[in-house]
Structure 1
Amino acid sequence: MRAIHYNALAAQYWFLRSRAQFAGLFGGIGSGKSHAGCFWALLKALRNPHCLGLIGANSYHQLEDATLRTFRRLLGEYGIAHRFNASDMRFRLANGAVVLCRSMENYDSLRGVELGWFYLDELRDTRLEAWRVVQGRLRATNVDAREGRVTTSPNGFNWIYDEFIRRPSGDPEAGRLYEAVFARTADNHHLPPDYVAALAASYDPFLAAQELDGRFINTTAGRIYHAFDRSLHVSPDADFIPGAPVLWALDFNVTPMTAIIAQWEPVAAPPSGGPAEDRAEAGRGTGLRVVDEIWLADSGTMGMCEEFARRLEARGLGSAALRVYGDAAGRARSTAGKSDYAIIRQCFPHATLCVPAANPPRRDRYNAVNAALCNALGRVRLRIHPRCQKLIADLEQVVYQPGTGLPDASNPLLGHISDALGYLLARVMPAGRAGVTVGRW
């Protein structure tokens, strides 16, 4: 029998030592959860050469790019001879063990499989039905113990919370079957020294509790822009800066059509994060100020351009450098045969368009706004002039539909101008993520 030495972090150790049938390691980004999960899967395959095992992830992208890369690296580090059949997506180890590799997006393909063990990585976006199907396949008899392990960062009070936390705490039988172990990013001493601080700077405290501390928190209830505080963020000092570059962000609704006008705070050091072209402006600061807003009822893109030009001229900024951000749908929408951005380029030929091919997910935009309002280090990077009353109202009043990640649409006038701000901030300030012998075979 050969011993494997694994330098486990504390949370990894307790996860690997669990004797529950179903154990989960819930941790922050970079906390070492997937590494521990893959090591557990390797041990299980080595100890049980005659049964079928499963390594899964939420999507094939995650499976190929993250989970299996880690598993292959461990096979190499421990000198485990193996073959991988890419067409079948399965490993065969030298001892005869077979490990299936599957995406939980196609969980129905597992209904005819008999498993001795399974390991599922990044389960946070997986459907409960997929989990139930995999649990139901755990019925092989030629295995030391029928067990399943999961590793993931939390994602609100979803079914994973119910399965591993809520139900076991109130049901003694479930408490014997399930165990939850938690890992913080900061507890992984293998990470670069500035890794956690850099992530904390791009997360609001609410998001940091989930993404860095691995805590289950409610991410789909209450105010979307929970970090906004009128007393902190609204200031008459956040006014136009003569001669400074202008950032213009739009939401292409018709009633209303909205936009915000922003400028960088005049600080010498450029911020980190965001595409390289958005970090290239000399002398731009690490914070933004929203200096004005445009709210037009029943207007078209040309009307918006005319009003924006009028605002710039009134402030002596008609010749200022201009960067345009906003809704990616404006690339396709047609007004008199031209897209919205074609009309903008026609009106402002000197402008630089900074619009992606597709909009970032809502959650990414919401996180970017909250992190700019106040990050996990307590730093405010966004100020708003009091004249921006529509934007202020949005930041105070836009809420989630209960139990969803979608905004409450009961007031059709809310949510548009804050979307414009989100398109901008998701682009320029995106929200970032003792040695013991623990096994033998």
Structure 2
Amino acid sequence: MSELKIPDKATAKELLVLREELLGRRLKDPLRNFVPHAKQRAFIDATLEDNSGETWFIAANRSGKSDAGAYIGASLARFGNQGARYVGAAGSRVQVRDTATSGWVVALDFPSSRDIIQPKYFNNNFVPPNATHEPFIPDREVEEWRVGDQILKLKNGSIIGFKSCESGGGKFQGAGKEWIHFDEEPPVNIYEECSIRIEGNVKLRIFGTCTILPPEGQAGGVSWLFEKKIEPWRRGEGSGVRIFGASIYDNPHVLKSELERLEGIYPEGSIARRIRLNGELLPGLSGARAYPAYNGVLNIRKGLEIDPRRPLCWALDFNVEPMCSLIGQKFGAEYRVFKELVIDEGSVSDMCQYFYDYIPHHLSEVWVYGDATSKRRSGQTGQSDYTIIQNEMRAYGCPIRIRVPESNPHVPDRINAVNVALNSRGTVNLLIDPGCRELISDLEQVLRDGRGGIKKTSNKKDPYFRRTHTSDALGYWISYESPVRLLTLPQAKVSVHIPTPSYGN
């Protein structure tokens, strides 16, 4: 049995001083003193305790989302996520757990990084006097802050790079990272570049904190995050993404007078209020919806079945990228959409083959609907799109009827026809299979332009680029079978009496 050594008086005093210093540091530690509200705590625990997939805190403005993200990033930088990884000097029996990590904090621009997210991580000399908490990384743990490179190095070896999206995707190339914090939604190309920053056998931990807002410069104002992360998560698809939310009312630090002021700015029921204050997961539309009558609860219906003895309705939009069509049937006044056929890049012949593969045979006629301008002959083939369809479908085994007007209805009339079918005074005459995701996204997100038509974009990088095509096909079908026209009242003719001129002699 080894002999117990009692420290001498000087050593005991030194140990006591160290213990008191450690206790004092713990009592003043900003991570320990920060008390997350319930919504923040759920996001923090999920991110720190499970390193699988991604976590996003998509919440209202001033809900404390950036605080929660900085709490996670600072915890990873100070205490690591390496488990039992120990290092020691050569020949020494003393080993210390290596808690160092390498991470990025990605903001939209440099001012946002400097003024908003950096002061939550560490004291960059821009901490506001009314901050709700001290920076989560104490000064005593900072070894170096390289302002020019925007790199923070901790004494434990951790490195945090503060990145700006406005610097472009090329600045996000380089070595792998162990964690990345997106503070607000980045451009999709920067997100994708960051997502491949994998180092060795270490899992990359991605977490984001943002409010879904209309992205500037995009026609529809639809966030890529909504389509690529939120919608798949809602459908329960195994994309490895976990999403958390919060409203401004969850943050106990926001004064009641401030809440009342903000409620006065954003009207009750407006998209801005639902996103900015309530934290609802909405696309962030920057305009008036083309199809406000759509209601997923009423218009989505599982288990719709094709009647083999009823005419099959095939509505097409001949846009090349993507080319879309819908397969449905009409039951009295009711329209049912069973399937959407979408080809990212294809021809009319490819679409005919897609139709044939999905429905190899049918016992009744096939009625074809679409854009009236597609009746014109192509300069390349010398045939119209509808002639190509008739030629391609000769072997199908049932009559193909082209039900296309000589000229297209006015776009507002086509939009109105779809809205009436969606819901007219409580009567729902349009049912859609939940598998028609592009059509559902259209009905949720397509916007009107300033002339009463439909807003479109030719920018392939804009998520809105995929919008309008399936709903256009739907509109061609419904407006042909159930046209709705705006009433214009005839103006009364006003007779003006003009006296007969008289001429002097």
Q: What band does the TM-score fall into relative to the shorter chain?
A: 0.3 to 0.5
Higher-strand-fraction structure? 1
Higher-RCO chain (CA-CA 8 Å, sequence separation at least 6): 1
TM-score scaled to structure 2, two decimals?
A: 0.42
When Rg is computed on C-alpha atoms for both structures, the one with the higher figure is 2
TM-score scaled to structure 1, two decimals?
A: 0.48
